[in-house]
């Protein structure tokens, strides 16, 4: 059998005990973000569901909730998981900087979360990072960004020495290090857009240009996190994956090479140029497609060849299968988009939920490593399947509604639902959203339950 066909175990080596405290802190921040975004998602789902839309406040109330929900569930949650992964993959160096990054990010998150209740800022539905034009929210976002800069700086300082991987663990470390390169590109793109903004812009036009380039770079980081999670979860379930560490590294490199198109776009055209936007869209589609297929096939083959798995591994398999299914569903919807309608959120919800499910499974895997108890495997498996089924219904309803031209980023009567088919489609969306919320709540409760069962003297 060739080296590529052998089963290789992808698993990060045990972390230095001195890094576990910071990793725990990042987990708590991620859970806080999920809880906050989950509460807001209830408002969002009910505001769009035909059965409840007339009972809920809409307009700016809906959009304010949507802004904070998106920033907590995507930006804060993913950066927090990056804090965990980069901490565990790196060396025990600059620990104080890691804690400083965590504290600054936590302060920024708190300000963004409370801003709808203490400020009066208008929502701006910019892509990637929507905002509230309110000093509390904007300062919260800036402070969170400063914390992210500290996290990336510390993670670069603590990154393991670069070398061609001879084991699956080394391949995962290399993939996470490449994620830091995309993070540097993202931070540079945000700064470049801010410094080169055309004069006189405000509102959505300003924030759309500000976040477009860096927002694309963030997607490459999330993709790398998902690929790392898939390989790690499959190894934990089946004992190994039929992919060599160097082929895995090649997949990680492909995603990162596509991210290099972002600085090229800035060198060739201004950030507001159509050519600039089109190149970034093409690069993201390429980077989000080419590396995905071989890793997905290898992980599915590992599960098929692995036979019966232990009860403790069932939640990991549930999260892995659900992640692959939702990510592929969202990707396929992308080919059907025409115009600005709810097919667009259906597409990116599928892809983002695919990443989220992979990271949920990784949290279940990492709990004992962080000194916590093991998750209750039946409820943990249920949380992933429930969340995935609900999100599939939610996304399917949005895709169906998009075929009738239902507009995105609106709720209540603004949706102008006319036919029985439109009402039925959005009804499926609403029911699926509520089912997904149940899955998310169960995930949080399972994790908190395991965290209460901290193991005395646990190792990293």
Q: What is the mean pLDDT of the chain?
A: 85
Predicted pLDDT at 423: 67
Evaluate whether 32 touches 109 at the Cβ level (below 8 Å): yes
Q: Which long-range contacts (CB under 8 A, 24 or more apart) does 172-175 make?
A: 172/10, 172/11, 172/12, 172/89, 172/228, 172/231, 172/232, 172/248, 173/12, 173/89, 174/249, 174/252, 175/224, 175/227, 175/228, 175/248, 175/249, 175/252
Contacts of 384 (CB under 8 A, 6+ apart): 315, 318, 319, 322, 357, 360, 361, 439, 443
Counted domains in the chain: 3
Check whether residue 83 and residue 224 sit in a common domain: no
209 pLDDT tier (thresholds 50, 70, 90): very high
Average pLDDT over residues 289-302: 91
Predicted pLDDT at 405: 52
Q: Which domain holds residue 23?
A: 10-159
Decide which of 272, 307, 342 is a domain's last residue: 307
Average pLDDT over residues 394-414: 59
Decide which of 266, 284, 307 is a domain's last residue: 307
User: CA distances (Å), 110 to each of 61, 84, 234, 328, 389, in order?
Assistant: 19, 19, 35, 34, 31
Predicted pLDDT at 426: 66
Most confident of 31-40, 59-68, 230-239, 396-405: 230-239
**Is the confidence at residue 6, as pLDDT, over 70?**
yes
Check whether residue 149 and residue 74 sit in a common domain: yes
| d(C-alpha 209, C-alpha 27), whole Å | 31
**Is the confidence at residue 134, as pLDDT, over 60?**
yes
Contacts of 256 (CB under 8 A, 6+ apart): 178, 179, 181, 182, 220, 224, 287
Check whether residue 155 and residue 273 sit in a common domain: no
Predicted pLDDT at 409: 46
Average pLDDT over residues 204-221: 92
Check whether residue 189 and residue 284 sit in a common domain: yes
Check whether residue 259 and residue 357 sit in a common domain: no
The region of weakest confidence among 155-159, 341-345, 347-351, 429-433 is 341-345
The region of weakest confidence among 55-69, 84-98, 416-430 is 416-430
**Is the confidence at residue 185, as pLDDT, over 90?**
yes
Global pTM? 0.88
The region of weakest confidence among 94-103, 376-385, 448-457 is 448-457
Nearest CA to 68 among 104, 96, 41, 90?
41
Q: What percent of the chain has pLDDT over 70?
A: 85
Check whether residue 173 and residue 139 sit in a common domain: no
Average pLDDT over residues 215-242: 94
31-40 per-residue burial string, b: 16 or more CB within 10 A, e: under 16: bbbbbbbbbb
Nearest CA to 31 among 352, 348, 360?
360
Predicted pLDDT at 250: 95
Tokens representing 66 are 């949507």
Check whether residue 209 and residue 174 sit in a common domain: yes
**Is the confidence at residue 81, as pLDDT, over 90?**
yes
Q: What percent of the chain has pLDDT over 90?
A: 54
**Is the confidence at residue 407, as pLDDT, over 60?**
no
Predicted pLDDT at 198: 86
Higher pLDDT, 49 or 357: 357
Question: CA torsion angle for 356, 191, 202, 196 (degrees, to 10)?
Answer: -140
- Domain contains 4: no
| d(C-alpha 443, C-alpha 363), whole Å | 10
| d(C-alpha 44, C-alpha 53), whole Å | 10
| d(C-alpha 194, C-alpha 145), whole Å | 14
Check whether residue 208 and residue 330 sit in a common domain: no
Tokens representing 455 are 């193991």
Evaluate whether 425 touches 401 at the Cβ level (below 8 Å): yes
- Within 13 A of 148's CA, how many CA atoms are on the CB side? 26
């Amino acid at each position: 059998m060739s080296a590529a066909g052998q089963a290789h175990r992808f698993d990060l080596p045990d972390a230095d005990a001195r890094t576990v405290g910071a990793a725990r802190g990042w987990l708590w921040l991620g859970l806080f973000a999920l809880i906050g975004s989950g509460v807001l998602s209830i408002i969002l789902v009910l505001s769009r569901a035909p059965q409840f839309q007339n009972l809920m406040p809409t307009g700016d109330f809906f959009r304010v909730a949507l802004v904070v929900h998106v920033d907590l569930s995507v930006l804060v949650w993913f950066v927090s998981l990056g804090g965990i992964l980069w901490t565990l993959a790196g060396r025990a160096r600059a620990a104080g900087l890691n804690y400083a990054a965590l504290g600054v990010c936590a302060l920024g998150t708190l300000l963004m979360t409370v801003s709808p209740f203490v400020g009066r800022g208008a929502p701006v539905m910019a892509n990637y990072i929507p905002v509230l034009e309110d000093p509390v929210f904007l300062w919260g976002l800036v402070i969170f960004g400063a914390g992210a800069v500290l996290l990336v700086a510390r993670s670069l300082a603590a990154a393991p020495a670069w070398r061609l991987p001879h084991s699956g663990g080394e391949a995962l470390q290399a993939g996470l290090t490449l994620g830091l390169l995309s993070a540097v590109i993202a931070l540079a793109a945000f700064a470049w857009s801010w410094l080169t903004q055309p004069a006189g812009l405000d509102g959505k036009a300003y924030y759309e240009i500000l976040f477009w380039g860096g927002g694309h770079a963030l997607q490459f980081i999330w993709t790398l996190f998902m690929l790392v999670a898939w390989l790690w979860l499959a190894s934990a379930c089946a004992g190994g994956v039929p992919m060599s560490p160097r082929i895995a590294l090649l997949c990680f490199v492909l995603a990162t090479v596509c991210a290099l198109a972002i600085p090229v776009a800035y060198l060739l055209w201004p950030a507001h140029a159509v050519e600039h936007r089109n190149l970034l869209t093409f690069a993201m589609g390429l980077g989000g497609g080419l590396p995905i297929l071989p890793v997905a096939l290898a992980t599915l083959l590992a599960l098929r060849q692995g036979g019966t798995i232990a009860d403790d591994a069932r939640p990991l398999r549930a999260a892995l299968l659900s992640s692959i299914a939702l990510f592929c569903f969202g990707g396929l919807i992308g080919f059907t988009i025409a115009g600005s309608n709810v097919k667009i959120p259906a597409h990116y919800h599928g892809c983002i939920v695919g990443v989220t499910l992979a990271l949920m499974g990784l949290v279940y895997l990492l709990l004992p490593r962080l000194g916590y108890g093991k998750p209750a495997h039946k409820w943990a498996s249920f949380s992933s399947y429930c969340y995935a089924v609900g999100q599939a219904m939610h996304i399917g309803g949005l895709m169906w509604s998009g075929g009738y031209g239902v507009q995105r980023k609106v709720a209540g009567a603004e949706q102008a639902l006319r036919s029985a088919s439109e009402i039925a489609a959005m009804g499926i969306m609403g029911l699926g959203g509520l089912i997904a919320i149940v899955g998310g709540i169960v995930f949080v409760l399972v994790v908190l339950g395991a965290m209460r069962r901290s193991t005395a003297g646990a190792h990293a």
